[in-house]
Amino acid sequence: MNKLNFAGFTITICLALSCKSFVITTLEADRFDQTLKQTPNPQLIDVRTPQEYSEGYLPGAVLMDIRAASFDSLMRTLDKTRPVFVYCRSGRRSLDAANILEKNKFEVVYNLDGGIIAWKNRGKVIVK
């Protein structure tokens, strides 16, 4: 193998080994709750508006309104190597947020299927 081919082969192998997969997992409320409880130091993010947040939120959730101009800067305060759990009212905005997190190389992102509505329907705890 000539030097040029060997160098190209080495670079290809290095790139392949350094690639990480970034995954969004959408979980129904019971599984989301269970996974959240089993995760050491989870990052739980509520991407609704401040008004929605004031009406009740999941215990330990931090508000990061996806529609606010501050969302990008707040997102950068999160640890990309720790799992991030996101939710909204119905699951649509949180999936948008999850996609943004994935594009920004967050390693593990969990999305609450059906949002806080599904959470409440399962009788889960809400903080007011």
pLDDT of residue 39: 97
More confident residue, 8 or 63: 63
Check pLDDT > 70 for residue 53. Answer: yes
Q: Show the domains of the chain with their CATH numbers.
A: 21-121 (3.40.250.10)
Q: Assign 10 a pLDDT band (cuts: 50, 70, 90).
A: very low
Helix, strand, coil % in the chain, rounded to nearest 5: 45, 15, 40
Whole-number Å distance between alpha carbons of 1 and 66: 52
Q: Is the dihedral of CA 97, 28, 54, 125 positive or negative?
A: negative
More confident residue, 22 or 114: 114
Q: What is the pLDDT of residues 82-107, one digit of tens each?
A: 999 999 999 999 999 999 999 999 99
Q: Where are the alpha helices (DSSP H) in the chain?
A: 3-18, 29-38, 50-54, 71-75, 92-103, 115-121
Whole-number Å distance between alpha carbons of 42 and 46: 13
Active-site positions read: 88
pTM of the model: 0.84
CA distances for 39 relative to 25, 42, 53, angstroms? 14, 6, 23
